[in-house]
């Protein structure tokens, strides 16, 4: 037992170190955790202790998977239903273009330019089609744009984009058998009833029984996760939809969402992002930097050339168009989830996984920096006195 506590202490030490670095560099903590994971694995390998971190131990894989499931749920729960209804055309068009342009573009690059297999190329298309709801929301909070219609529109488009990624991952790689039919029928029934049952439980038991709503939601997420894994799919897929259907009630109780976010970001997601980093082969990236650059250019350029003309239909000001486009070009959470799914199921090799995760990390940094330094629409920023600091455990902590 002390060995488990020792490994957990090492990983939490890395998580604390990541938090300190993220604070001083003012970048996403998820991004730093992945990079720290890469560095820790490289050091352990150089010392001949590659297994010392215990990345493949079953209990650690469970904690990491739990973090991915809850983080996915929170991403769906952050959706603002009112904004989606008001900007339905905008978020739908931009979100779908933001998914399909890099999806087909990166498939073509991986298959024809890099010579990857068809399945590996399809996985690359899925992993690089994402945008980062967490990174974008963190930036929106820091600038105050999350309180504006402009910022809320970007968040809505990010949601549609990532929903396309979630659906594509399930349709392309989940084996279609009778188990799939059972999964779809049972999940649809549970998700249809989820808002009403959650409301009843909240009305009767909330504030009387210790955190019953959190226990109930986690029961549903883990139960649907079991069903998803049994059917050959991935546990994060129903979690995103569950977050979406509970977004309305979540918006009415931000305190509960903050507490759930603190649990997720404070304990579970460090295991997920650090582990994702430890699976990256640094030697592979160093030996073939051209592959990394080709994939990064493919993701970012396909996003830009696909999105910019359509964003121009809704935003006339130059800085607004470019800022919108670059923020939609980011990627992190679902990109790493998709890449890790592909690696875990033998769809891609560790080398291909390393390239994809490295590209996802770079896409979280480069477009965000350019957007903030060059194209920030300052005329849309709310006045300083209207800005409020993100609460502890806010999404800005989760990347």
Can you spell out the DSSP letters for 34-90?
HHHHHHHHHHHHHTT-TTTT-TT-HHHHHHHHHHHHHHHHHHHHT--HHHHHHTHHH
CATH number of the domain residue 164 falls in: 1.20.1530.20
Answer whether residue 302 is part of any domain: yes
The DSSP symbol for 349 reads -
Answer whether residue 229 is part of any domain: no
Tell me which residues of the chain have a pLDDT lower than 50: 386-399
Residues making up the chain, counted from first to last: 399
Q: Which two tokens stand for residue 6?
A: 């020792």
- The per-residue pLDDT for 183 is 92
Report field, pTM of the whole predicted structure over 0.85: no
Backbone angles phi, psi at 209, to 5 degrees: -115, 135
Task: Name 353's Cβ contacts closer than 8 Å, sequence gap at least 6.
Answer: 279, 280, 339, 340, 342, 343
Residues 187, 189: Cα–Cα separation, whole Å: 5
156 by Cβ neighbours in 10 Å (0-12 / 13-18 / 19+) ranks as buried
CB atoms within 10 A of CB 359: 27
- The per-residue pLDDT for 219 is 96
The DSSP symbol for 209 reads S
- The per-residue pLDDT for 68 is 86
Alpha helices in the chain (DSSP H): 2-25, 29-46, 58-77, 81-86, 88-108, 118-127, 133-143, 149-173, 178-205, 212-230, 236-245, 247-252, 254-263, 269-278, 282-287, 289-311, 318-328, 333-344, 350-374
Answer whether residue 264 is part of any domain: yes
Host domain of residue 289: 2-174+234-397
Answer whether residue 223 is part of any domain: no
- 217-260 residue pLDDT tens: 999 999 999 998 898 777 888 888 898 888 877 767 778 888 88
CB atoms within 10 A of CB 219: 10
The C-alpha angle 195, 257, 392, rounded to 5 degrees, equals 175
Residues 257, 298: Cα–Cα separation, whole Å: 36
- 325-370 residue pLDDT tens: 999 998 877 888 889 889 988 999 989 999 999 898 888 878 988 8
126, 164 contact by CB (below 8 A): no
Backbone angles phi, psi at 206, to 5 degrees: -60, 145
Task: Name 258's Cβ contacts closer than 8 Å, sequence gap at least 6.
Answer: 391, 392, 393, 394
With CA atoms as reference, report the closest residue to 214 among 159, 264, 147: 264
- 122-142 residue pLDDT tens: 999 999 999 877 678 778 877
Answer whether residue 287 is part of any domain: yes
Answer whether residue 141 is part of any domain: yes
277, 33 contact by CB (below 8 A): yes
Q: Give how many domains the chain has, as a whole number.
A: 1
332, 399 contact by CB (below 8 A): yes
Q: Which two tokens stand for residue 326?
A: 């670059």
380, 146 contact by CB (below 8 A): no
Answer whether residue 94 is part of any domain: yes
20 by Cβ neighbours in 10 Å (0-12 / 13-18 / 19+) ranks as exposed
- The per-residue pLDDT for 394 is 42
Residues 159, 140: Cα–Cα separation, whole Å: 14
């Amino acid at each position: 037992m002390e060995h488990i506590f020792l490994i957990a202490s090492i990983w939490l030490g890395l998580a604390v170190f990541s938090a300190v670095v993220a604070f001083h560099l003012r970048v996403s903590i998820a991004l730093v955790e992945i990079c720290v994971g890469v560095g820790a694995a490289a050091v352990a390998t150089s010392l001949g202790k590659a297994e010392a971190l215990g990345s493949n131990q079953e209990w650690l894989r469970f904690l990491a998977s739990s973090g991915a499931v809850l983080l996915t749920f929170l991403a769906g729960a952050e959706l603002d239903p009112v904004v989606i209804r008001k900007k339905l055309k905008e978020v739908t068009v931009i979100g779908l273009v933001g998914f399909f342009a890099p999806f087909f573009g990166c498939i073509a690059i991986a298959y024809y330019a890099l010579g990857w297999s068809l399945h590996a190329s399809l996985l690359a298309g899925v992993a690089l089609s994402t945008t980062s709801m967490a990174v974008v929301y963190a930036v929106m909070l820091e600038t105050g744009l999350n309180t504006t219609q402009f910022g809320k529109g970007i968040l809505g488009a990010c949601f549609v984009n990532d929903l396309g990624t979630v659906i594509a991952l399930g349709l392309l790689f989940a084996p279609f058998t009778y188990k799939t039919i059972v999964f779809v029928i049972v999940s649809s029934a549970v998700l249809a009833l989820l808002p009403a049952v959650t409301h009843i439980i909240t009305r009767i038991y909330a504030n009387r029984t210790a955190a019953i709503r959190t226990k109930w939601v986690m029961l549903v997420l883990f139960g649907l996760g079991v069903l998803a894994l049994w059917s050959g799919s991935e546990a994060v897929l129903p979690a995103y939809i569950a977050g979406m259907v509970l977004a309305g009630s979540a918006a009415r109780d931000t305190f509960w969402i903050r507490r759930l976010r603190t649990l997720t970001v404070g304990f579970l997601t460090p295991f997920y992002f650090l582990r994702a980093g430890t699976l990256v082969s640094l030697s592979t990236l160093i030996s073939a930097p051209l592959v990394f650059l080709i994939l990064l250019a493919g993701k970012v350029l396909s996003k830009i050339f696909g999105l910019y003309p359509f964003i121009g239909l809704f935003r006339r000001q130059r800085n607004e168009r470019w800022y919108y486009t670059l923020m939609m070009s980011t990627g992190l959470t679902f990109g790493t989830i998709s890449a890790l799914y592909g690696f875990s199921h033998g769809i891609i090799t560790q080398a291909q996984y390393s390239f994809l995760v490295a590209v996802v990390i770079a896409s979280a940094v480069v477009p965000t920096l350019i957007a903030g330094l060059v194209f920030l629409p300052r005329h849309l920023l709310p006045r300083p006195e209207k800005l409020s600091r993100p609460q502890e455990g806010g999404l800005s902590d989760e990347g």
